[in-house]
Amino acid sequence: MDPTIKLAHTFPPGPRLGGDVHYDLDESGQTTVRDFNLFYVTAHELGHSLGLTHSSDIGALMFPSYTWYTEDFVLNQEDINRIQALYGPSLNPIQPTGATTPHPCDGDLTFDAITTFRGEVIFFKGRFYIRVNRFIPEAELNLIGILWPNLPGKLDAAYEVSMIDQVRYFKGNKVWAVREQSVLRGFPRDIHSFFGFPSDVTHIDAAVCEEEIGKTYFFVDHMYWRYDENTRSMDPGYPRLITEDFPGIGDKVDDVFQKGDKISISFTNQFNTDLTSE
**Strands of the chain, DSSP E:** 8-10, 21-23, 113-117, 120-125, 128-132, 140-143, 157-161, 166-171, 174-179, 182-183, 189-190, 206-210, 215-220, 223-228, 233-234, 240-241, 255-259, 262-267, 270-272
State the catalytic residue, choosing from 27, 45, 140, 278: 45
Q: How far apart are CA 165 and CA 182, in angstroms?
A: 12
Side-chain half-sphere exposure of 226, counting CA atoms within 13 A: 16
H helices present in the chain, as ranges: 38-49, 77-87, 144-147, 191-195, 242-245
Exposure on the CB side of residue 23, measured as CA atoms within 13 A: 15
Using an 8 Å Cβ cutoff, are 66 and 45 in contact?
A: no
Give the integer Cα–Cα distance in Å for 153 and 113.
Answer: 11
Tell me the Cα Rg of the chain: 22
Is 229 designated active site?
no
Residues classed as catalytic: 45
